[in-house]
Amino acid sequence: MNFTSKLFYANRRVVKFLRLMALIAGPGILVMVADNDAGGITTYTATGAKFGYGLIWFLVLLGPIAYFVQEMTVRLGAVTKRGHAEAIFDAFGTFWGWFSLFDLTLTDWLTLVSEFIGMTAALGIFGIPHWVTVVIVIVLMGVMVIQGRYWTWEKIALAFCVINLIYIPAAFLIHPNWSDVFRVGWLPHFPGGLNGIMFFFLMANVGTTIAPWMVFFQQSAVVDKNVKEKDIPWSQLDTGIGAFFTVLVAIFCIVVTAAVLKGTDIESAAQAAVGLMPYSKYAGTFMAIGLFDAGFLGAICISLSSSWAVGEVFGWAHSLNNKVREAPWFYAFYFFMLVSAGIIVLIPGAPLVTITLFVQVVATTLLPAALVFLILLLNNEELMGKYKNNKFQNVVTFSIVISLILLSTGYTLTTLFPNWLH
Amino acid sequence: MTRILDGFRDFIQAIREINEKYKTPRIKTTRMVSISLLMLRIYLLGMLLLLLYKFISVVTVH
C-alpha cells in the first residue's frame, strides 16, 4: 500500500467528516457571515475608529448569542419542515402571521436598499458608476438563482463568504501592534466609561448581531435544503462555524480601523476605506472589496428570506430547486424586491440616510415577535417532540432574547430620540 | 385592464383562502403563550405610540 493510501485510511474518519460537512454546511455559515452585511461592517469600522481595540471582547460575547438564536431555527425547520412565516401563521393565527410577513417584507426591502447603498459606495471608490454596480449585482444575483439548483446557489454564496475574510489580510497589511490588540482587546472594560455614547455603540453592535431576516432565512434554507432530523447536529456545527467566522471578521474589521483611524468619526465603511488609502493602498482596497462583498452577501440572503416567506404563506412553489417556469411568482417576487431596492439608490436626492435609520426602527418592531414566537414554538412538545428546548436552552435563550429585545429597543429609541442620551 | 383586474381578484381570493386556512391558531394556549402574546401586543402598541409621537414632533417642527 502506498503512502497516500495509508494516509487516506488512517484519516478516513476525518475525510468522511469533511465530506459530510461539505454536504451539510451552508445555511448556518451563510446566514452568519451575511450578518456582517454593509450595515454591520459600518458599525464595526465606526466602533474601531471610536474606541480602538477596547470593545473586541464585547464582540466575542456576541458569537454565542447569535449561535443560540440561530440554532433554534435549525431544529424548528428540520422538525416541522416549515419556514418561520408559515410556522407563525399556523401556530399563532392570521393577525400575527400577516404582521410578521408584512413587517419582514418591509424590513427586508429597506435593508436591501441599505445593502445597495453600501455596494454602490464601495465600487464608487474604484470609479464605477452607481448604475453599473446596481446592474452587475442584479445580473449576478439573477444568474445565481435561475440556474434551478439550491446546491449550486449555496456553493456560489459560500464562495462569496470566503471573500468576506479579506479583512484578515487587510489587518496584517497595516501592521497593528498585536500585543496591544490582545492586551486591550481581550480585557472586558468600557473605554471612557459606560456613558451614553458607549451605550449607543454597544446597542448598535448588538443590533447588528441578530436581525429578523436571519431567523426567517435560516429556517427556510434548512427546509429548502431538506435537512432532516438526523442532520441536526451537523447543521448545529455549521451554525457554530458560521458564528465563529462572523466574530472573526468583525474583530479584524475593528483591528483595521482601530490601528489607523482611531479618533475619527466614521459614518460609513466606504469612508473608512478611503481613509485607509493613505496608510496602505491595499488595505483600503481590501476594505472596499470587503464592503461590496458584505453588501452582496446581505442582499443574497435578505432577498431570498422574504421571497421564501411570501411563497410559503401564499402556497406558491418556492424552492431554489424549481426552475423559473415552475415557480414564477417566487422568482418574480425575488426580482421585484431586488430591482425596486436597486432603483431607489439611483434616484437623485432619495432619502437614503432616513431609509438607513428607518431600517433599524422597523426591524425592532419585528425582532421581539420573531424571537418570542421562536421560543414558544421550540417549547411546544406536540410540535417539536424530543427536539424541544431543554431547561438549560430555555434559561440561555430567554436571557438572550430579553437582553436582545431591551438593547435593540434602546438602540431604536436613541436613533429616534438622540437627545435622550445627553 | 381586465387581466389586471382578474389578477387583483385572484390576489384577494388568495388572501381569503390564507385567512380561512389559518383561522384557528394551532398552538395550545398555555399561560406562557397568553402572557407572551399580551406582552408583545403591549410592546408593539408602545412602539407605535412612540413612532407617532416622533412623527408628530417632526411635522410640527417643520
ipTM: 0.88
Q: Is the pLDDT higher at A103 or at A362? A: A103
- Average pLDDT estimate for A252-269: 87
Here the cell at position B59 is 411635522
Question: CB–CB of A413 and B22 under 8 A?
Answer: no
User: A20: how many CB neighbours lie within 10 A of its CB?
Assistant: 13
Question: CB–CB of B22 and A97 under 8 A?
Answer: yes
Q: Is the distance from CB of A178 to CB of A251 less than 8 angstroms?
A: no
| A81/A224 Cα distance (integer angstroms) | 9
- Average pLDDT estimate for A129-148: 92
Give the number of A-B residue pairs with CB atoms closer than 8 Å: 56
Largest distance between two CA atoms of chain A: 75
Over pLDDT 70: what percentage of chain A? 98
Decide if B32 touches A, using CB distance below 8 A: yes
Q: Is the pLDDT of residue A17 over 60?
A: yes
Q: Is the pLDDT higher at A357 or at A230? A: A230
For A370, the closest chain B residue by CA position comes to B40
Question: CB–CB of A365 and B33 under 8 A?
Answer: no
Quote the pLDDT of residue B62: 63
- Average pLDDT of chain B, as a whole number: 85
Confidence of residue A210 (pLDDT cuts 50, 70, 90): confident
Helix-helix angle A130-146:A94-124, to 10 degrees? 130
| A283/A289 Cα distance (integer angstroms) | 10
Among A241, A197, A320, CA closest to A32: A241
User: A413: how many CB neighbours lie within 10 A of its CB?
Assistant: 18
Among A133, A140, A153, CA closest to A217: A153
Confidence of residue A306 (pLDDT cuts 50, 70, 90): very high
B28: CB partners within 8 A, 6+ apart? A380, A382
Quote the pLDDT of residue A292: 95
DSSP count for chain A of H helices, then E strands: 20, 0
Confidence of residue A250 (pLDDT cuts 50, 70, 90): very high
Q: Is A357 exposed, middle or buried (0-12, 13-18, 19+ CB in 10 A)?
A: middle
Q: Is the pLDDT of residue A261 over 90?
A: no
Decide if B35 touches A, using CB distance below 8 A: no
B32: CB partners within 8 A, 6+ apart? A376, A379
Chain B closest-CA separation from residue A117 CA (Å): 25
**To which H or E segment does residue A95 belong?**
helix A94-124
Decide if B44 touches A, using CB distance below 8 A: yes
Quote the pLDDT of residue A349: 79
- A401-411 residue pLDDT tens: 888 888 878 87
Question: CB–CB of B44 and A94 under 8 A?
Answer: no
| A365/B45 Cα distance (integer angstroms) | 10
Tell me, rounded to whole angstroms, the distance of Cα B12 from its chain centroid: 16
Decide if A413 touches B, using CB distance below 8 A: yes
| A413/B44 Cα distance (integer angstroms) | 13
Chain A closest-CA separation from residue B40 CA (Å): 7
- Average pLDDT estimate for A203-218: 85
Compute the radius of gyration of chain B from its Cα atoms: 20
Question: CB–CB of A382 and B28 under 8 A?
Answer: yes
Identify the weakest region by mean pLDDT among A145-154, A157-166, A348-357, A397-406.
Answer: A348-357
Q: Is the pLDDT of residue B3 over 80?
A: no
- Average pLDDT of chain A, as a whole number: 88
Q: Hey, is A90 helix, strand or coil?
A: helix
Decide if A371 touches B, using CB distance below 8 A: no
Among A82, A319, A401, A55, CA closest to A198: A55
Quote the pLDDT of residue A420: 66
* Residue of A76, A80, A94 to mutate for B, most B C-beta atoms under 10 A: A94
User: A268: how many CB neighbours lie within 10 A of its CB?
Assistant: 20
pTM of the model: 0.89
